[in-house]
């Protein structure tokens, strides 16, 4: 498979000033801390983990919406992570994002027709397209009535607003789309509709997705490969089939075991992960998961394990597999 994106040792750190008038200095919050992976054309790469593990920050850093602290993001052979805003503009047409909250991502003062054509005007494509016809086509693609184009965002339901967000992301005919918790704010029945829409669009147009979510059922449904993140780092990466059938990292196992089984006949004891996610400002020494891990060893408290390929395409960061 042909690579469309290569991420090499990507880091995104935030400087947090200490609170209080007498305080001085600052803390460093390592939201993304040395992440490396590849994305292949036409696939859906799922990224899953608990809230606060750096998933959304990673998605925004991939698209240069947040500037990296270190590392590289290589899109079709070009390192885009160091480009200026002007240089990045050419890549904006090819790389888009579907945001988590469909309401706050849409300007409430503008009609849908304006919101869908704004990306084309900004990128100088208003002369290439008949904008009115383009709006009608986009609404058709995402399953909305053309008559809705003169309405405002507050006149739509949550699912309809997310369809508008998808239509806006498609307006420039991108190749690569980051879906940041694209269905987490929606009802379950509406989630299924949006997921089916995304998969149909991928099959029709050949989009490449990075799909960020905390819901394992959603990631399991839509993804070809899955990355599991914990506290800014990748702890496991594998194909969907390998990750479901042969989970290796204790954190991955805990995530899947905590997820409810919809089949009442499958009776199994839930193993809840003990404790809370540590602060990314002051992560534990060694493996960040060691305070919550039932298999922690002395070495886990001293050294962080490298991400190692255990089987073809299956990588894990854990001393148990050293």
* DSSP assignments along 119-145, one per residue: HHHHTT-TTTS-HHHHHHHHHHHTT--
What is the three-class DSSP state of 21? Answer: coil
Across the strands, what pairs with 29? 14
Average pLDDT over residues 268-285: 76
Higher pLDDT, 151 or 90: 151
Is residue 139 a contact partner of residue 148, using CB atoms and an 8 Å limit?
Answer: yes
**Which residue, 199, 202, 190, 200, is CA-closest to 157?**
190
pLDDT of residue 215: 83
Q: For residues 165, 168, 173 and 174, what is the CA-based torsion angle, rounded to 10 degrees?
A: -50
- The answer regarding whether domain 3-41+52-82+214-321 maps to CATH 3.40.50.300 reads yes
Q: In what order do the strands lie in the sheet with 70-75?
A: 26-40, 3-17, 70-75, 78-79
Structure tokens at 56: 């959304």
pLDDT of residue 248: 94
Residue 55 phi/psi, 5-degree rounding, is -65, -50
| Exposure of 174 in the CB half-sphere (CA atoms within 13 A) | 28
199-223 pLDDT, tens digit per residue, is: 999 999 999 999 999 888 889 889 9
Number of residues that make up the chain? 322
pLDDT of residue 147: 93
169-185 pLDDT, tens digit per residue, is: 999 889 999 999 888 87
Higher pLDDT, 126 or 321: 321
Report the alpha-carbon distance of residue 208 to residue 296 in Å, rounded: 37
Structure tokens at 119: 């990306």
Q: Among 1-15, 181-195, 225-239, 285-299, name the one with the lowest average pLDDT.
A: 181-195
Average pLDDT over residues 9-13: 96
27-70 pLDDT, tens digit per residue, is: 889 999 999 999 999 999 999 998 888 999 999 999 999 999 99
Angle at Cα 54 formed by Cα 231 and Cα 302, nearest 5°?
20
């Amino acid at each position: 498979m042909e690579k469309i994106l290569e991420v090499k040792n990507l880091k995104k750190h935030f400087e947090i000033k200490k609170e209080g008038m007498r305080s001085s200095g600052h803390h460093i919050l390592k939201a993304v801390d040395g992440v490396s992976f590849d994305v292949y054309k036409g696939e859906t790469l799922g990224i899953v983990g608990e809230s606060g593990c750096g998933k959304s920050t990673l998605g925004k850093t991939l698209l240069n919406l947040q500037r990296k602290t270190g590392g590289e993001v290589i899109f079709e052979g070009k390192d885009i992570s160091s480009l200026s805003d002007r240089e990045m503009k050419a890549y904006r047409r090819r790389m888009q994002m579907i945001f988590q909250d469909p309401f706050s991502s849409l300007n409430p003062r503008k009609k849908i027709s304006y919101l869908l054509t704004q990306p084309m005007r900004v990128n100088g494509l208003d002369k290439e397209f008949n904008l009115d016809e383009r709006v009608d086509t986009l609404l058709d693609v995402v399953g909305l009535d053309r008559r809705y184009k003169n309405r405002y965002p507050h006149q739509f339901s949550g699912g309809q607003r997310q369809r508008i967000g998808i239509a806006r992301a498609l307006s420039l005919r991108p190749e690569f789309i980051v879906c940041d918790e694209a269905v987490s704010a929606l009802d379950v029945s509406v989630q299924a509709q949006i997921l089916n829409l995304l998969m149909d669009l991928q099959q029709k147009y050949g989009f490449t997705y990075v799909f960020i979510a905390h819901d394992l059922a959603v990631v399991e449904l839509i993804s070809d490969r899955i990355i599991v993140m914990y506290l800014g780092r990748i702890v496991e990466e594998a194909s969907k089939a390998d990750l479901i059938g042969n989970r290796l990292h204790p954190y991955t196992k805990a995530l899947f075991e905590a997820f409810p089984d919809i089949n009442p006949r499958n009776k199994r004891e839930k193993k809840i992960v003990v404790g809370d996610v540590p602060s990314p400002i002051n992560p534990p020494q060694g493996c960040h998961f060691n305070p919550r891990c039932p298999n922690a060893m002395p070495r886990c408290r001293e050294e962080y394990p490298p991400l190692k390929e255990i089987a073809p395409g299956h990588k894990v960061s854990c001393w148990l597999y050293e």
